[in-house]
Amino acid sequence: MQGRLSPRTQAALYGLMCLLLVPFVFPTWWMVTSSVKPISEIFAFPPQLWPAHADFSSYQQVFKLQPFARQYWNSAWIAAVVTLGTLGVASMAGYAFARIRFPGANALFVVVLTGLLIPSEVTIVPLFQMFRALGLVNTHWPLVLIPIFGAPCVFATFIMRQFYITLPAELEEAARVDGLGRFKIFRTIALPLARPALASVAIFTFLHSWNLYLEPIVFLSTPTLFTLPQALTQFTDAYGGPMWNIQLAAATLTALPVLLVFVVAQKQFIEGLAHTGLKG
Amino acid sequence: MQEARPFWTLARREALAGGLFVAPQLAGVLVFVLAPLALVFWYSLHEWNVLANTFEFTGAQNYQDLLQDATLPPVLAASAVFAAGLVVFNLSLALLLAVLLNQKLVGITAFRTLFFSPVVVSLVAWTIVWGFLLQANGGINGVLKLAGIEGPNWLRMPATAMASVIVVQVFKNVGLNMILLLAALQGVPRELYEAARIDGASAWRQFRRITLPMISPTILLTSVITVVGALQVFAQIAVLTQGGPGHSTTVLVYYLYQQTFQFHRFGYGSTLAIVLFAIVALLTLAQWQLRKRFVFHEQS
- What CATH number is associated with residue A266? 1.10.3720.10
With CB atoms and an 8 Å threshold, state whether A210 touches B277. Answer: no
- Domain boundary at A11, A32, A55, which? A55
Tell me the shortest Cα–Cα distance from A123 to chain B, in angstroms. Answer: 5
A101 and A74 within one domain: yes
- Pick from A8, A122, A244 the residue to mutate for testing the B interface (most B CBs within 10 Å): A122
Asked if residue A143 belongs to a domain, the reply is yes
A123 to B40: CB separation less than 8 angstroms, yes or no: yes
**A213 contact residues in B (CB cutoff 8 A):** 123-124, 234-235, 238
Closest CA to B283 of B272, B271, B275: B275
Residues A111/A93, Cβ–Cβ less than 8 Å: no
Q: Where does the pLDDT of residue A142 fall: very low under 50, low under 70, confident under 90, or very high at 90 and above?
A: very high
Residues A29 and A97 in one domain: no
All residues of chain B having their beta carbon less than 8 Å from the beta carbon of residue A76 are: none
**Cβ contact A117–B281 (<8 Å):** yes
Is B40 a residue whose pLDDT tops 60? yes
Which residues sit opposite B55 in a β-bridge? B48
**CB-side exposure of A125: number of CA atoms within 13 Å?**
32
- A274 vs B40, B121, B183: nearest CB: B183
- A32 & A151 share domain: no
In 3D space, the residue among B214, B95, A12, B197 whose CA is nearest the CA of residue B205 turns out to be: B197
The answer to whether the CB of A151 falls within 8 A of the CB of A118 is yes
* A24: in domain: yes
A51 within some domain: yes
Computed from CA positions of residues B104, B110, B111, B117, in that sequence, does the dihedral angle turn out positive or negative? positive
- Does residue A243 lie in a domain region? yes
Task: Provide, as residue numbers in chain B, all residues whose Cβ is less than 8 Å from the Cβ of A46.
Answer: 142, 145-146
What pLDDT is stored for residue A238 in this prediction? Answer: 78
- Report helix, strand or coil for B209: helix
- Do B122 and A258 form a contact (C-beta atoms < 8 A)? yes
**CB-nearest partner of A30 from B14, B36, B139:** B139
Residue of A193, A16, A220 whose CA lies nearest to A91 = A193
Q: Which residue has the higher pLDDT, B218 or B95?
A: B95
- Cβ–Cβ below 8 Å for A274 and B15: no
Pick from B19, B176, B257: which is nearest to A273 by CB?
A: B176
> Within a domain: residue A7?
no
- Is the CA virtual torsion A89, A94, A100, A103 positive or negative? positive
CA distance B30 to chain A (A): 8
Is A14 inside a domain boundary? no
Contact residues for B27 (Cβ-Cβ < 8 A; gap 6+): A149
Summarised one tens digit per residue, pLDDT across range A226-245 is 999 999 999 988 787 888 88
CB neighbours (10 Å) of residue B111? 21
CB-CB contact of A148 with B28 (8 Å): yes
So what's the pLDDT on residue B297? Answer: 55
ipTM for the complex shown: 0.89
Q: Which of B62, B105, B115, B122 to mutate to test the interface with A (most CBs of A within 10 A)?
A: B122
φ/ψ of residue B103, rounded to 5: -75, 150
Is A13 within 8 Å of B37 when comparing Cβ atoms?
no
Q: Does A154 contact B29 at a Cβ distance shorter than 8 Å? A: yes
pLDDT value, residue A4: 67
B21, B96, B146, B251, best to mutate vs chain A, most A CBs in 10 Å: B21
**Cβ contacts from A onto B, under 8 A:** 304
Other C-beta atoms closer than 10 Å to the C-beta of A70 total: 14
Instruction: Taking the CA atoms of A9, A12, A18 and A20 in sequence, report the sign of the dihedral they define.
Output: negative
Q: What percent of chain A has pLDDT over 90?
A: 55
Confidence check: pLDDT of A263 > 90: no
Q: What confidence tier does B87 reach under pLDDT thresholds 50, 70, 90?
A: very high
* Residue A243: predicted pLDDT: 87
Domain contains A254: yes
Backbone φ, ψ for residue B252 (5° rounding): -55, -45
* CA-to-CA separations, A252 to A19, A225, A233, B56, in angstroms, rounded: 24, 20, 13, 48
Cβ proximity of B144 and B150 under 8 Å: yes
Tell me, what's the pLDDT at A237?
84
Min Cα separation B17/chain A (Å) = 6
Among B111, B123, B256, the residue with its CB nearest the CB of A229 is: B123
From first CA to last CA, the distance across chain A in angstroms is 26
If one counts the domains in chain A, the total is 2
**A208 within some domain:** yes
Amino acid letter, A75: S
Tell whether A15 is within 8 A of chain B (Cβ): no
CATH superfamily of B69-298: MetI-like (1.10.3720.10)
Host domain of residue A48: 20-55
Answer yes or no: do A25 and A109 share one domain. Answer: no
Put simply, the answer to whether B120 touches A258 (Cβ < 8 Å) is: yes
Q: Which of A14, A31, A121 sits opposite B125 (nearest CB)?
A: A31
**Chain A, 38-97: which have a CB under 8 Å from a chain B CB?**
43, 45-47, 88-90, 92-93, 95-97
Question: Whose CA is closest to B233, among A75, A214, A128?
Answer: A214
Q: Tell me, what's the pLDDT at B98?
A: 95
User: To the nearest whole percent, how much of chain B has pLDDT over 90?
Assistant: 55
Q: Among B111, B117, B284, select the one facing A259 at the smallest CB separation.
A: B117
Q: How confident is the model at residue A173 (pLDDT cuts 50, 70, 90)?
A: confident
CB–CB of B245/B158 below 8 Å?
A: yes
A257 and A178 housed in the same domain: yes
Beta carbons of A92 and B119 less than 8 Å apart: no
Domain ranges of chain B: 69-298
Average pLDDT for chain B: 89
Q: Are residues A127 and A40 in the same domain?
A: no
Contact A197, A278 (CB under 8 A): no
Give the helix ranges, DSSP H, for chain A: 7-34, 39-42, 57-65, 68-99, 105-117, 124-133, 141-149, 151-165, 170-177, 182-185, 191-193, 195-211, 214-219, 228-232, 244-264, 266-278
Q: What are phi and psi of B265, to 5 degrees?
A: -100, 80
Cis ω for the linkage preceding B245 (within 30 of 0):
yes
Please write the tens of the pLDDT for every residue from A41-95: 877 777 777 888 888 888 999 999 999 999 999 999 999 999 999 999 999 999 9
Please state, in angstroms and rounded to a whole number, the distance separating the CA atoms of residues A160 and B226.
22
Task: Using alpha carbons only, give the angle A213, A216, A218 rounded to the nearest 5 degrees.
Answer: 105
| pLDDT above 90 for B204 | no
CB A190 within 8 A of CB A95: yes
Round to whole Å and give the CA distance between A54 and A62.
Answer: 16
| Pair A95, A164: CB distance under 8 Å | yes
Residue A90 and residue A136 in one domain: yes
pLDDT at A9: 87
- What is the structure's pLDDT at B1? 52
Q: Which residue, among B13, B121, B133, B192, would best test binding to A if mutated, counting the most A CBs under 10 Å from its CB? A: B121
Q: What Å distances lie between residue B271 and B32, B34, B182, B256, CA to CA?
A: 19, 16, 40, 9
Give residue B294's pLDDT. Answer: 66
Handedness of CA B134, B137, B141, B143 (dihedral sign): negative
Q: What is the pLDDT of residue A3?
A: 54
For residues B50 and B203, give the distance between their C-alpha atoms in angstroms, rounded to a whole number. 63
Contact B17, A100 (CB under 8 A): yes
